[in-house]
Structures are given as structure tokens and as C-alpha cells.
Amino acid sequence: MGGIGGPDGLARTWHSPKVPAPCHPLVCWAFGARRYTWDMSETQLLASAAPNAAADAHYSLLVARDADEVHAAQRLRHRVFAEEMGATVKGGELGVDQDSFDDHCDHLIVREDRSGEVVGTYRMLPPDRAASAGMLYSETEFDLSALDPLRPSLVETGRSCVHPDHRNGAVVSLVWTGIARYMLLHGHTMLAGCASVPLDDGGVQAAHVWRTVSQKHYAPEERRVHPHQPWEPGERDERSTIPPLLRGYLRLGAEVCGRPAHDPDFGVADFFVLVDLERADQRYMRFFLGEAA
């Protein structure tokens, strides 16, 4: 995914069919010292919708409402992960990327309004459904026992991807907006997940990421997690860049909670990141959440 910023006049439309009960017409939530307020019905939270001038397109962000919309997200994931990145995915023979966690997640999707095509997706696993799933997806890669006290308020994100023809600031920022508002609507404050760094450059970028985050963004010992299959950066010391998705997390104030795990199916080093939204950078929270009071 792209960076956290976005152009002025960003197109944002939020449709949420899964708002928790009880729900009130006026929703308020405080992140840090900032309080955010807007009108909301039980089934829908709308923000301004405007054309994306760069791409001359309208986009809508919604939570997938039925199996067809989830399937469209899974097809997009296959398009990006398997066809573009060469990853080995479950369901690949059917042209989708799917796993057992999908049934427990809310799937945020970005739709291009003119064609109806799903061009971006991100899935969210809230605490109650993580419990019903028996674990977080990240626990297939990390021992997360140090984070047990946080589980009641922790939402896991994952499977982030954007169609190659729509990797513009509008789609990327729209997804971030959806994540922020999803967290606010459901009353959760801890956001976590794996940020992947490709290893097709011999590990140069992943090693640079590790050096950077271990010096500037490393979690304290009480929030450290441990990879089941560690990726070792070795002695590589070439300079590189921070991938856009991870850069976005870090701008929000994320901690990296341990050494990276190696995911051989995707050919990546995965960094487990944790964001406490009550301590997040308020500039970005204001940008994503829109109206504030």
C-alpha cells in the first residue's frame, strides 16, 4: 500500500453495515486529548464524497456486506499477492487468496464507482471474533503472549492490497480513513498487524527497516513479541527505504514489537507493529477522522 498522506479533496465515502449495538445517532470518541464527533445512523457513517482529480474517478469505502463482496476482495488479493508478487496462497487454484480467518473478519473494500470494481481491500479482526477464531493471524508467525493484557481492545489488520491501476493517494488514504473510523466506531484503541517487507532484493530493504525501527521505534520489553521463524538481517548495511504501509504506521506512532519473522510463502520479512490510538499522532488522526469537535 501507499503512504499515509493524500491529496486535498480526497474522495471519502464510508458505508458500514456492521455498527455495534447499542448505537446512537451522534457518535463521540476521544483519542488522546482530541474528541471527534459526527452524526451516524445505525448502519451508515458517511463522509464527503468528491472526485479524485488525479484519476478522475470516484471511490467508495465500505465494509463487505455479503459473500460476493468478500469474494471480490479475495480475487483482488490473489491478483496482487499471487500474480504480481508470486506468493503461494491458499485458494490459488480458484483464483482467490483465502484462509480460515476470512470468515471471522470484517473486510474493508474500496470500490471504483464507475465500474463497480473492488480496487483496494484490508481486513479487520476485532477482539470478540479473534476469540472465536481461537487466535490472531499474527500468531501463526509470532508468540504474542506478552500482549495478552491488550487483547480486549486489540484489532488486527491484514491482507492489505491495492490494484496496480489504482495506487494513488486517494485509494490509500481512503483505506486509512476506514481503518481509523472502524476503530472509533467499535470503541477499540489498539491496532496491530504484520507489515511485510519483500526479500526479493536479497534482504537489503528489510535489513534497513530493522536497523531503523530497532533504533527509533522499538517497543519496550513488556510488549516484545517473538517470531516462530526469525528472519536474520545479517551484516547487511546498505541504505534503503521504509515501505509505504510501514511508514504510515510509524507516522501514526506505531511500535515495532520484536524481530521480524520470515514468511517463505510470501517471500517477505514480517514486522509486528502495534499502534495505541490514544497516543497516536493527532495530525493524522484529524486527517483521517475528518470532522472534530
- Residue 123 pLDDT: 97
Selection from 171, 114, 158 nearest residue 263 by Cα: 158
Q: What is the pLDDT of residue 9?
A: 28
Cα-to-chain-centroid distance, residue 222? 24
φ and ψ of 159, to 5 deg: 55, 45
Bridge partners for 107 per DSSP: 123
Tens digits of pLDDT across the chain (293 residues): 333 232 222 233 333 333 333 333 334 444 444 454 444 332 344 343 344 434 456 898 899 999 999 999 999 999 999 999 999 999 999 999 999 999 999 999 999 999 999 999 999 999 999 999 999 999 999 999 999 999 999 999 999 999 999 988 788 888 888 888 899 888 999 999 999 999 999 999 999 999 999 999 999 999 999 999 999 998 877 889 999 889 989 988 999 999 999 999 999 999 999 999 988 888 877 776 664 32
41: helix, strand or coil: coil
Domains within the chain, CATH numbers bracketed: 14-289 (3.40.630.30)
What local confidence, expressed as pLDDT, does residue 237 receive? 78
| Confidence (pLDDT) at 289 | 67
Helix (H/G/I), strand (E/B), else coil: 122? strand
Strand ranges, E, within the chain: 14-15, 26-31, 34-39, 59-63, 106-112, 118-125, 142-143, 154-162, 190-198, 226-227, 255-256, 261-263, 268-276
What's the pTM value of the predicted model, to 2 decimals?
0.82
